[in-house]
């Protein structure tokens, strides 16, 4: 499977990871609040935040955090482990490496689709009356904008070195701050206010909400390279702490603001609710639009490199461009067929992110540790508990996500 996530590990990996997932995770954060309501949402977010802040030291508060702790233990068990797929190989051989890599690349692939849907939704918000004609074929505004964005971003996926894009992508954290400030401005100064009460608990929305939580706090695939690439691994807890604090605070604040502003009428992306032709609204929307353009290639390139390595065509420039073009075309087709942002994100979170953050770390750790004579009673109980929770999110969340996608047609 070759260069797993190599591009993301270059430059400033922790910053790129934080920027990448804070950018895409900000969009559905308000939708989570709507799906859960006030009481349940606060309880889950508080537990997640508390757990993640202690993640490097303990795995007692959150399944995803425990998964991260077991990932680090797997890395420390062998000097040969550099990437997440290497953990799969250490545990189960080449088949394990391939299985882990497939889940990681599928997650990147679906996030790229989410970016395309995000662009189409927000450009349609800016230009609701736009229509496109190709010969005698009429294309709707959202579909047209998805196609235009795909054409614009395609050349960035052909680049061999994405270091410049990686550094630009670090602006995702600043973009999140701008987005929050713009939404707050609309609420305070543009006549929207914060008067919606919402509901205390919405249990029917829990499967979707938990899937979105899993998506927003994923990223375990990148951490092994951050960890092994650091000169002083003792500083990793600080890096992890800062990253998760930023994401948790930004997600929580965005969710609270959006739900107070729009309540049960909240859209899958808060930018779609903002009043048109207001300066702050346009700032929020344009900020949302810029992020995917700088990050799309960072998602596609690792997948392309894995395909090139498996076919042994990495040095053939023409074949490389064709593979990357095919990936962009395929993501565009899926985005046009299934243009439901929140539900595609929920599917990504339930089926892929939950597997990567909860199931795979525990299964691999148990397999690796079984070769030693250590007493694994506590770890075994923890792993089994996490596996049960993860399996529940995967089965229930995936079912509800697919059900909502089907019902949306």
Unique residue bearing structure tokens 């199931």? 359
Q: Which of 133-147, 213-227, 258-272, 316-330 has the largest mean confidence?
A: 316-330
Q: What pLDDT score does 90 carry?
A: 93
Q: What pLDDT score does 129 carry?
A: 83
Q: What pLDDT score does 4 carry?
A: 40
Q: What pLDDT score does 302 carry?
A: 86
Q: How is residue 137 annotated by DSSP?
A: E
Whether the predicted pLDDT of 217 surpasses 50: yes
- Token pair, residue 303, equals 């997948």
Query: Once rounded to an integer, what is the mean pLDDT over residues 305-318?
Result: 88
Query: Once rounded to an integer, what is the mean pLDDT over residues 316-337?
Result: 95
Residue 205: exposed, middle, or buried by beta-carbon count in 10 A (0-12, 13-18, 19+)? Answer: buried
Unique residue bearing structure tokens 């107070």? 260
Write the pLDDT tens digit of every residue in 356-382.
Answer: 888 999 999 999 988 876 667 788 888
Whether the predicted pLDDT of 11 surpasses 60: no
Which string of DSSP letters, residue by residue, matches 333-393? HHHHH---HHHHHHHIIIIIIHIIIIIHHHHHHHHHHTTS----HHHHHHHHHHHHHHHHI
> 60-64, 203-207, 326-330 — which is least confidently predicted?
60-64
Q: How confident is the model at residue 51 (pLDDT cuts 50, 70, 90)?
A: very low
Q: Which residues pair with 138 in a beta bridge?
A: 133
Contact 39, 201 (CB under 8 A): yes
Average per-residue pLDDT in the chain?
79
CATH of 13-407, one of 1.20.1740.10, 3.30.420.40, 3.30.1950.10, 3.60.40.10: 1.20.1740.10
Q: What pLDDT score does 184 carry?
A: 92
Contact 347, 110 (CB under 8 A): yes
- Token pair, residue 281, equals 């609204």
């Amino acid at each position: 499977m070759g260069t797993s996530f190599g591009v993301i590990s270059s430059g400033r990996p922790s910053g790129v990871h934080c920027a990448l997932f804070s950018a895409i995770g900000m969009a559905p954060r308000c939708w989570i609040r709507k799906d859960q309501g006030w009481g349940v949402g606060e309880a889950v977010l508080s537990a997640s935040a508390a757990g993640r802040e202690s993640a490097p030291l303990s795995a007692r508060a959150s399944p995803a955090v425990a998964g991260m702790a077991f990932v680090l233990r797997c890395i420390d068990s062998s000097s040969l482990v550099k990437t997440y797929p290497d953990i799969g190989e250490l545990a189960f051989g080449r088949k394990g490496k391939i299985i882990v890599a497939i889940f990681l690349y599928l997650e990147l692939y679906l996030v790229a689709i989410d970016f395309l849907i995000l662009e189409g939704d927000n450009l349609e918000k800016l230009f609701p009356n736009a229509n496109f004609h190709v010969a005698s074929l009429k294309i709707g505004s959202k579909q047209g904008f998805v196609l235009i964005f795909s054409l614009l971003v395609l050349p960035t996926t052909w680049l061999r070195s994405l270091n410049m894009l990686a550094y630009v992508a670090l602006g995702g954290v600043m973009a999140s701050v701008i987005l929050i400030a713009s939404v707050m401005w609309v609420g305070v100064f543009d006549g929207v206010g914060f008067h919606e009460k919402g509901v205390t608990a919405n249990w029917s929305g829990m499967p979707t909400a938990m899937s979105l939580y899993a998506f927003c706090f994923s990223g375990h695939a990148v951490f092994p390279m951050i960890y092994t690439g650091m000169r002083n691994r003792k500083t990793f807890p600080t890096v992890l702490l800062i990253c998760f604090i930023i994401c948790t605070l930004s997600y929580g604040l965005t969710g609270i603001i959006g739900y107070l502003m729009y309540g049960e009428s909240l859209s899958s992306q808060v930018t779609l609710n903002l009043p048109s032709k207001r300066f702050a609204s346009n700032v929020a929307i344009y900020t949302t639009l810029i992020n995917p353009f700088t990050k799309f290639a960072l998602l596609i390139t690792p997948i392309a490199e894995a395909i090139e390595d498996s076919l042994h065509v990495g040095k053939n420039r023409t074949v490389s461009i064709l593979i990357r073009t095919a990936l962009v075309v395929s993501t565009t087709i899926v985005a046009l067929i299934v243009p439901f942002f929140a539900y595609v994100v929920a599917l990504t979170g339930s089926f892929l992110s939950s597997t990567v953050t909860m199931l795979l770390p525990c299964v691999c750790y148990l397999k690796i540790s079984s070769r030693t004579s250590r007493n694994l009673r506590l770890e075994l109980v923890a792993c089994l508990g996490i596996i049960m929770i993860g399996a529940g999110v995967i089965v229930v969340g995936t079912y509800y996500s697919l059900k909502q996608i089907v019902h949306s047609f």
